[in-house]
Structure 1
Amino acid sequence: MVLAKTTLFDSDLQEAAQLYKALGHPARLQIMRYLAETQSCITGDISEELPLSRTTVNQHLAELKKAGLIQGHVEGKHTNYCLNPKKVKELKKISEAFMIEINVDDKICE
């Protein structure tokens, strides 16, 4: 039986890696930024805010939704997208804890 190499790491690192992977494209970061700036759910075409095709934007939205960072609710022909505050807070907590853990206090490796 072959195990995924990620299973060799603790669950906290696995979760952090999944969230960071979801944010691993500038378009996804821009979507997150846009949803945060609007402070509301967006109905309609987010692709108007990005220099990408609607299909490509939808693929990025799907990855963010899969990671739980955004929520999408279908209303008629449109989907309302907004940040998932609980997951975004969790991401912030994970990121802050990780950065504290790897803090190098401006030490320089030689």
Structure 2
Amino acid sequence: MKIRRIAGQTKAVIHVITQADETTEEVIDGVREIKPPKRAEIKKTKAVLEDAVNTFGIDTSDGRGIIAIGKGRNGGEGAEVEVTYLPNFGIVKELQMDETSLSQFNF
């Protein structure tokens, strides 16, 4: 409640990070499938879902990652972006996007 009040009074953007419910992992040919959590899998508090403008699910494995919009009050739910994820080398970047990929976002 205090964080919500501070955000409202200061018009600050608050980033809340929480762990999703654990699900069974699917391993195909020794590689774990990348599967970002869905809205229903956010745990700890449902207040995050109620208060959030956007929620993002993130999952990484073996140098790859996916960021997915789980909740978007301005649209975009279900959109996913694949990234290269090599934090030990300081590399976290979006993969190359073409015009078709960019058209799913409202700029």
Q: Quick check: which one's strand share is greater? A: 2
Higher alpha-carbon Rg: 1
Higher relative contact order (CA 8 A, sep 6+): 1
User: Which band: TM-score by shorter chain?
Assistant: under 0.3
Q: TM-score, normalised by structure 1?
A: 0.27
Q: TM-score, normalised by structure 2?
A: 0.27
